[in-house]
Each structure stands twice: as structure tokens, then as C-alpha cells.
Chain A
Amino acid sequence: EPEVTQTPSHQVTQMGQEVILRCVPISNHLYFYWYRQILGQKVEFLVSFYNNEISEKSEIFDDQFSVERPDGSNFTLKIRSTKLEDSAMYFCASSEDFAGTQYFGPGTRLLVL
């Protein structure tokens, strides 16, 4: 069964460093998303991406965040200068169509020290 994969599973970084989180969405899906979940809190939307551009972003997704689809299979989230409050689980998701079911990856646990 096709699934969304994410790497790395864990990432520890120092405050102010750049991190890139990677995702491989399900192969025939066209819509891609990033969400995050701070420990003990709800899953929050960050950004959606379609046709090589951002279609929607939340207030959380400020100038330190960027997304890219560098090739036909990968989808990345870059945090330019990490802050302590960026520590969270980051989930990638994909869907086949606009209102379709979003399938989530296993997540990357990011810890900023």
C-alpha cells in the first residue's frame, strides 16, 4: 500500500541553524501539505502546495519557512533559522485531489536546543 515517507525521523539542531525536512508523498498525489504538532497540542496546518506553488499558508508559516518540490518525488520544508519554539513533530501529507483524503507520513521529531 502506498504511503508517505519522511526523513529524518529525528533531528536535533542548535538554535539559529537551518534544517531541511524531507518527504516523499504518494506517487500519484498532486496536493502536498506540512503540519506540525507541538508536544501535547493539536495538529496545526502550516502550508499547502499544488502545481509547484504555495496555495495556502497559516500565520505560523512566516518568512523563516519555505517549501520546495525539487524533483518529481520529494517535497521539502526548510526552516532557515530555527528557534526553540520550532521544536515539534512535523508531518507531511498528500492527497490525490483538492478535497480528498490527506494521508500523513510518520513525522520528523525536531528538537531545537
Chain B
Amino acid sequence: EDQVTQSPEALRLQEGESSSLNCSYTVSGLRGLFWYRQDPGKGPEFLFTLYSAGEEKEKERLKATLTKKESFLHITAPKPEDSATYLCAVPGGGGNKLTFGTGTQLKVEL
């Protein structure tokens, strides 16, 4: 069965304090790993897709990387507006249904 585990569950950072979020996955035949941002009461907002080990993608203060077993979302010099829950997901079971992790709830304080 496909599994996605995210850590930490919650993270509190000071503005400007860089850190990384982890997403470990178990899936037969990775066909992509997706990162989403979710604000309270809203739908997941797409951030990145990674397809192969070694791939990296960047967007503003965020950089996502992928290995054969896990992905990291690096946040450089975060701002309060980066506060959200960050979700990772993988398609599995031979189909395209996404299996989500429980997310990392990030809070960035002034």
C-alpha cells in the first residue's frame, strides 16, 4: 500500500529562519511527487511536481528536492505569509489517485 509520511507535524520559525520539511514515501514505481500548500479552509494550492531522483525545483523562497525515498521542501528566509500547511502527495496503485501525507503546519512569526 502506498504511504506518505511527513515530518515534522508542526514547525514554528522566526521570520528569516530557514528550515526544511520532509516527505518520505513508499510507492511502487514513482510517477511523480507533488507539493501543495493549503491555507485554513481552502483547497490545496499546487507548488511543485518532481519526477526523478536528483530533480530540484524552486519558487521564490521555496525549493523542493527529491531522492529515491524522500523529498524535502526547503524554505529560505521565510516570511509570515509563508505560514500554511504544506502537503506532499504521490499518485499510486497504478492509477492517478493521489495519496496525501498529513502535512506540516508551518507558522512563521515576526
- A-side interface residues toward B, CB under 8 Å? 4, 6, 31, 33, 35, 41-45, 48, 55-56, 58, 89, 91, 95, 98-99, 101-107, 109
Contact = CB atoms under 8 A, between A and B. Distances in A.
B54 interface: no
A99 B46 contact: no
Contacts, number: 59
B44 A48 contact: no
19 contacts: A33-B98, A41-B102, A43-B98, A43-B100, A44-B100, A48-B95, A48-B97, A55-B96, A95-B96, A99-B31, A99-B32, A99-B96, A102-B34, A102-B46, A104-B36, A104-B43, A104-B46, A105-B43, A107-B42
Contact of A43 (B44, B46, B49, B93): B44
Nearest to B34: A101
Contact of B43 (A42, A45, A48, A106): A106
Given A42-B102, A104-B36, A98 B96 contact: yes
Interface extent on B, as a size class? 20 to 34
A60 B96 CA distance: 17
B96 A109 contact: no
Contacts of B43: 4, 6, 91, 104-107
Contact of B97 (A6, A41, A56, A107): A56
A106 B42 CA distance: 5
Contacts of B93: 56
Interface in B88-106: 89, 91, 93, 95-103
B99 A45 contact: yes
Interface in B16-74: 31-32, 34, 36, 41-46, 49
